[in-house]
Structure 1
């Protein structure tokens, strides 16, 4: 964001709140406040608790049926169970639910599933009730899965992440139920300078008029502001003089940030505040969670206007610390765009980057040094990254990465 403010305080601003949600094209990205700190932006989330479910009146097939023979062992486990609701074909499907070959588009996914028991079912001879323990795919912005099955549901088709048939069941218990919303972490805007649009709202008697709907930008020491991908939707409940500097305010809001950064990411954003990293492999000391945050910060600070290096260019990837998929994204970002560089932070993003316009024109040549590290660590299996429950699933392998690079026309020399 172009600089559109003045700051005359000793403590530097690190965060900008900008209006991007008013719907008025004339005020998009309008600065609302500059703040020295945001208490509540960096919070370590609680690990998701496992839930217990029962598939009722189940006719299991495939690997689900096989697990019933191994209950009590590690083999009674499935990476994912997808429940596709069935509906009366003579009735229209529920709203926002569209039929396709297998069932209905309003599917529910259970992940990291342990089969813990089974017994004969009252729903029919040969059918069983199967008890599971795992995690449901919950998208907070959609409040999914709902508290009740969709109206008209007559059963569920079961499948795994590879679309292999696991059978069907009559109904479920524990999948559809009231769930507590994720906790809201309190947020205080510390050492803030309200800009002109925010000043009258702070004193307005109506809570509705004190509502903030702002995007959060990180401000570096030169005054450049870059989007963080975070937003704050909350009502200002209190403001008071800040101890940081005369003329600044501490502002309390009644809500929080949906998915705060982990606490350790504060150090990463502070590093970027001081300027772009100048040394390679500074990310290597971080764990998987913070390597992911490093790549995210690199994405936010990527300058898209920078021209690609020409097609056919040779890049050198330092593979000494590629002990996980997050380490690969950090390493390939630096190989292409230098220390702190970005070149993808998930498979879809990598596939996009190899097509060009992210620092390297396609095709290019990649020399992957110390590739034996990735050969040992980027292997098949099941991945449980704790920072994003929705990413649980099959691990990304070295072969997967090589396929994406090859699909972009690039060549890789593993050394």
Structure 2
């Protein structure tokens, strides 16, 4: 979509939430800048303490008990499945089961003792994190359950327990970061008094030609003040009482500017950024990817520069450039890589990929646990080189290591 020109405008505020289903989205306005869109993430919180009460452990959890005080007392994940005597009305169900399920991640067993609940059972002290499931939220009240079934990531049984302490409780809310739309030109949809108005809208990236290039976040807040902007007559600086849901890391502003100025001119410009910003690099490459470009024919040979592939996000940046040139996109997670290999993203399979400096990936894309960002929901077992080779093999891609 395009928007009426406002020289220097970088962002479109688009209400695509409050209308009826089937109605067109409503443009609220465009603006030059947004204070509060680029924000440094909160630091990783310290680990929490939990206790599994009346536990009958099995599998890897039992093994961890036997190695307390060593690295082998660690588990990547313990899923907590409540055993309901009668399904509570507030619980939802999907293909994975009850939405009361919670998960502990990056868990270390630090103590055990006989349980007072029943002979033969133990109470287990753990240290780790609660994965905050974004689609469900973390309930502050413990589910109505007669106990909990424990399982690993692959649904391997870890045992059962009668109760859990330390998981379901009130936690401090994330800090609210106010947002200011700077040099905002309102459209007719915002006619009248703006102060006190609730706004729920997507922040869309504007290119120089007026076309949008994907979203940069969701804004849901109330206007506190609207005052004339020094950037021009008829423009406003609008301050809201809330922030952008999941704001972009502040270091990504430079990447956005590079894209606005025409995009990367040389390969490997992403390599100077840390992993969090490399993820933003691939995300923006997807959002600003030219549409309608044909795939290069099957049988083409591509060259991947592997000098900087020290983690999976670096790989996505490198494969994007190997297929589609500097700043190119060819996946930013395993599912997206699979989709790209199915065609329509620059390369028709089968093809040949020459992976130069592959020794770097062999040293770094190995088994382990991955903590890629401050967001706990992103933590999981590391994606290995063999995982990538398996996907390439499924699509008849020949990988030649150099």
TM-score, normalised on structure 2? 0.94
* 1:167 paired residue number: 159
Match of 1:119 among 113, 117, 122: 113
* 1:331 paired residue number: 318
Task: Tell me if structure 1 keeps the 8 A contact 2:19–2:25.
Answer: no
The alpha carbon displacement at 1:67 in A equals 2.0
Q: For residues 53-64 of structure 1, what are the structure 2 equivalents within 5 Å?
A: 53-64=50-61
| Separation of aligned partners in 2, 1:358 and 1:201 | 46
- For structure 2, which runs of at least 5 residues remain unmatched after alignment? none
| Separation of aligned partners in 1, 2:48 and 2:137 | 17
CA RMSD of aligned residues (A): 2.0
Alpha-carbon displacement from aligned partner over 1:362-390 (angstroms, at most 9, x marks no partner): 22221111111111111111111124321
| Separation of aligned partners in 2, 1:26 and 1:84 | 38
| Separation of aligned partners in 2, 1:397 and 1:344 | 16
| Separation of aligned partners in 2, 1:269 and 1:32 | 22
Q: 1:197 to 1:26 in 2, by over 3 A?
A: farther
Q: 1:95 to 1:349 in 2, by over 3 A?
A: same
The alpha carbon displacement at 1:100 in A equals 8.4
* 2:122 paired residue number: 128
Task: Tell me if structure 1 keeps the 8 A contact 2:229–2:236.
Answer: yes
Alpha-carbon displacement from aligned partner over 1:230-267 (angstroms, at most 9, x marks no partner): 11111111111112333321101111112011111111
* 1:149 paired residue number: 142
Q: 1:377 to 1:387 in 2, by over 3 A?
A: same
* 2:200 paired residue number: 213
The alpha carbon displacement at 1:275 in A equals 1.3
Residue 42, structure 1, aligned to residue 38, structure 2:
yes
Match of 2:296 among 292, 306, 309: 309
Aligned residue for 1:112, secondary structure, equals strand
The alpha carbon displacement at 1:410 in A equals 1.8
Residue 137, structure 1, aligned to residue 124, structure 2:
no
Q: For residues 281-320 of structure 1, what are the structure 2 equivalents within 5 Å?
A: 281-320=268-307
* 1:31 paired residue number: 27
Q: 1:401 to 1:407 in 2, by over 3 A?
A: same
Task: Tell me if structure 2 keeps the 8 A contact 1:94–1:150.
Answer: no
| Separation of aligned partners in 1, 2:383 and 2:91 | 32
Aligned residue for 1:135, secondary structure, equals strand
| Separation of aligned partners in 1, 2:143 and 2:270 | 46
The alpha carbon displacement at 1:28 in A equals 2.9
Residue 84, structure 1, aligned to residue 95, structure 2:
no
Aligned residue for 2:299, secondary structure, equals coil
| Aligned residues between the structures | 401
Alpha-carbon displacement from aligned partner over 1:324-346 (angstroms, at most 9, x marks no partner): 11110000011111111111111
| Separation of aligned partners in 2, 1:355 and 1:168 | 42
* 1:322 paired residue number: 309
Residue 353, structure 1, aligned to residue 354, structure 2:
no
| Separation of aligned partners in 2, 1:100 and 1:21 | 27
- For structure 1, which runs of at least 5 residues remain unmatched after alignment? none
Aligned residue for 1:70, secondary structure, equals coil
